């Protein structure tokens, strides 16, 4: 049986040890490019193709998680999503 952690514990632990987590990427066509957003952290990016938008979003998320204060990461990751 695996251990269960709440999100805040995972991110504090992640500061000292690499950990993988699946996140959502919503990518939509916008004009002649693509807009990408990660709703879990409200981080967005864009690109000329779907692949570039996804890559840019991954880079933005990585930079955020590497540089943001732990309290900001906790605040942004403490969402409750409702399916409509």
In the prediction, which pLDDT does 83 show?
52
Instruction: Write down the pTM of the prediction.
Output: 0.68
Residue 32's Cβ-count burial label (10 Å; 0-12, 13-18, 19+) is: exposed
In the prediction, which pLDDT does 4 show?
43
Residue-range domains of the chain with CATH: 24-84 (3.30.160)
Q: CA geometry: angle at 32 spanning 27 and 35, to 5°?
A: 25
pLDDT digits (tens, 9 = 90+) for 20-47: 678 889 999 999 999 999 998 999 999 9
34 neighbors 46 (Cβ within 8 angstroms): yes
């Amino acid at each position: 049986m695996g251990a269960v952690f709440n999100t805040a514990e995972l991110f504090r632990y992640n500061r000292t040890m690499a950990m993988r987590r699946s996140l959502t990427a919503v990518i939509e066509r916008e004009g002649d490019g693509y807009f990408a957003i990660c709703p879990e952290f409200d981080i967005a990016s864009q690109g000329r193709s779907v692949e570039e938008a996804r890559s840019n979003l991954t880079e933005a998320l990585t930079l955020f998680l590497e540089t943001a204060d732990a309290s900001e990461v906790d605040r942004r990751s403490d969402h409750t999503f409702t399916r409509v």
